[in-house]
């Protein structure tokens, strides 16, 4: 007899193994940062180019088995208590602002490292165990060593960015765990303080929310819709999607980049290069070894792939799987439909293809 899985069974979050370090059910480790860049309107292009280079270098320090999530969220801004203005004009302005909902934008970055046994060959694992004598290590000691290696890579990643961005690890306090708070918001859309239980386990049950599959999906008491951004514009610039930061409602822009294996990336690029090289001349010209019409577009693409292979071999870039999704919520189908249309127009003006997911 089959049954549908509960929402807690679908989630992978398991327990906290260290401050701001979460272990997933498959053995992966997760941590996160808050980051903030310079002002977009007053910063020169050279500064953004330096930030882009630093971020690229930091990502190149990771390898196969790592996943990077960039989350840009628009959340309601908390308003302070009522002010006691003596001037009637100031009091009127304050009363008008109290009836207006203000939003602020936050940027989060999550790093996830898959466990070694998911991306290492069994023979390689055995050789590593013989060399480092890790065959008889207990589970607790293995988790401790994995966490130490994870923290070392995360610290190196942080040091690569701290000189160019305002960035810090999520803080785990007695009344609020920021990593848990951010993960809970990404899952439920509720922005609230989230206290870590005394026994920091069974986080899947703590973070689970009731949901009903559909278009749009019902999550708790709200409707949720996702818009995927497909393809890339031919030309980009810093802040090309800054219009999302000015929207008068909550929205989450999620980037996920799964770093690919070097050998697989090289093999895929060489396969594509051979395909375009074969298209540069007709099949008859290749068989008869004669000079035929040259397809300049195919030659150009083959040269681009050759340059991409050079960047890959030099360690200047990484290749992997990237997805970009905008997550919206609303109280009614009409409201969420209007918001999807507005977000789609902002993305399309920047040259992206916005496609609502079903």
Query: Which of 8-12, 30-34, 243-247, 248-252 is modeled with the greatest confidence?
Result: 30-34
For 51-77, the pLDDT digits (tens) are 889 999 999 999 889 999 999 998 887
The token pair at 149 is: 């290696």
Instruction: Give the model's pLDDT for residue 121.
Output: 47
In this structure, of 107-121, 210-224, 320-334, 341-355, the range with the lowest mean pLDDT score is: 107-121
Give the rounded percent of residues in the chain with a pLDDT score beyond 70: 85
- With bands split at pLDDT 50, 70 and 90, how would you rate the model's confidence at 123? very low
Q: What is the rounded CA–CA span in Å between residue 272 and residue 302?
A: 8
CA 239 vs. chain centroid, Å, equals: 17
- Residue 62 main-chain phi, psi, to 5 deg: -95, 165
Continuous segment of H or E residues that includes residue 163: none
- Which residue is listed with tokens 């973070």? 207
The residue ranking higher by pLDDT, 224 or 216, is 224
Tens digits of residue pLDDT in 177-222: 999 999 999 998 888 888 888 888 999 998 988 888 888 888 888 8
Q: Tell me the pLDDT band of 127, cut-offs 50, 70 and 90.
A: very low
Which stretch of DSSP H or E encloses residue 95? Answer: helix 88-98
d(CA 76, CA 185) in angstroms, rounded, equals: 12
Q: Is the pLDDT of residue 118 over 60?
A: no
**Quick one: average pLDDT of 8-21?**
90
More confident residue, 334 or 91: 334
d(CA 296, CA 298): 5
Distance CA 341, CA 251 (A): 13
Helix (H, G, I), strand (E, B) or coil at 116: helix
Q: Cα dist. 79→101, 156, 200 in Å?
A: 9, 37, 31
Q: Can you tell me the distance from the alpha carbon of 13 to that of 191, in angstroms, rounded to the nearest whole number?
A: 18
| 226-265: pLDDT as tens digits | 999 987 887 777 777 888 888 888 899 999 999 998 888 9
* pLDDT interval class at 288 (50, 70, 90): low
Average pLDDT over residues 159-172: 92
pLDDT score at 256? 95
Average pLDDT over residues 2-16: 83
CA atoms within 13 A on the CB side of 120: 13
Distance from CA of residue 10 to its chain's centroid? Answer: 19
Sequence ranges of the domains in the chain: 1-79+91-209
The arithmetic mean of pLDDT across residues 118-138, rounded, is 51
Does an H or E element contain 18, and which? Answer: strand 13-18
Percentage of the chain modeled with pLDDT above 90: 35
Residue 133 to residue 67: CA distance in whole angstroms: 28
- Strand runs (DSSP E) across 231-342, as ranges? 251-259, 320-330
Mapped onto helix, strand or coil, the DSSP state of residue 295 is coil
Strand partners, 139: none
- What's the count of helices (H) and strands (E) in the chain, helices before strands? 11, 12
DSSP state of 243: G
Looking at every residue in the chain, the average pLDDT score rounds to: 83
* 185 CB-contact burial (10 Å; exposed 0-12 / middle 13-18 / buried 19+): buried
- What span, in angstroms and rounded, lies between the C-alpha atoms of 16 and 26? 14
114-126 per-residue burial string, b: 16 or more CB within 10 A, e: under 16: bbeeeeeeeeeee
Q: Cα angle at 1 between 9 and 14, to 5 degrees? A: 10
Give the Cα separation of 24 and 30 in Å (integer).
7
Closest C-alpha among 36, 165, 172, 44 to residue 104: 36
pTM equals 0.84
């Amino acid at each position: 007899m089959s049954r549908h899985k509960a929402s807690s069974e679908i989630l992978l979050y398991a327990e906290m193994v260290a401050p701001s370090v979460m272990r997933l059910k498959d053995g992966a480790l997760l941590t996160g940062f808050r980051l903030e860049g310079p002002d977009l309107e007053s910063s020169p292009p050279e500064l953004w180019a330096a930030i882009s280079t630093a971020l690229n270098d930091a990502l190149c320090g990771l390898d196969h088995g790592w996943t990077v999530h960039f989350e840009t969220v628009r959340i309601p801004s908390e308003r302070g208590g009522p002010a006691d203005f003596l001037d009637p004009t100031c009091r009127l302005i304050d009363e008008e602002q109290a009836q207006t909902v203000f939003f602020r934008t936050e940027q989060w970055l999550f790093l996830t490292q898959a466990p070694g046994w998911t991306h290492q060959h069994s023979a390689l694992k055995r050789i590593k165990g013989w060399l480092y004598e890790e065959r008889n290590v207990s589970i607790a000691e293995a988790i401790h060593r994995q966490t130490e290696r994870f923290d070392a890579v995360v610290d190196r990643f942080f040091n690569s960015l701290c000189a160019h961005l305002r960035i810090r690890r999520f803080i785990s306090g007695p009344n609020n765990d920021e990593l848990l708070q951010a993960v809970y918001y990404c899952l439920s859309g509720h922005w609230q303080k989230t206290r870590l239980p005394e026994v920091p386990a069974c986080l899947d049950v703590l973070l689970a929310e009731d949901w009903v599959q559909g278009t749009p999906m019902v999550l708790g008491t709200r409707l949720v819709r996702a818009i995927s951004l497909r393809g890339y514009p031919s030309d980009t610039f810093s802040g090309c999607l800054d219009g999302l930061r000015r929207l008068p409602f909550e929205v989450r822009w999620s980037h996920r980049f799964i770093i690919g294996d070097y050998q697989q990336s090289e093999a895929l690029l060489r396969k594509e290069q051979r395909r375009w090289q074969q298209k540069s001349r007709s099949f008859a010209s290749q068989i008869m070894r004669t000079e035929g019409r040259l397809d300049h577009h195919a030659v150009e693409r083959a040269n681009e792939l050759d340059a991409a292979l050079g960047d890959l071999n030099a360690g200047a870039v990484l290749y992997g799987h990237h997805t970009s999704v905008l997550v919206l919520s609303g109280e009614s189908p009409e409201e969420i439909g209007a918001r999807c249309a507005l977000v789609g127009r902002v993305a399309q003006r920047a040259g992206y293809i916005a496609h609502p997911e079903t």
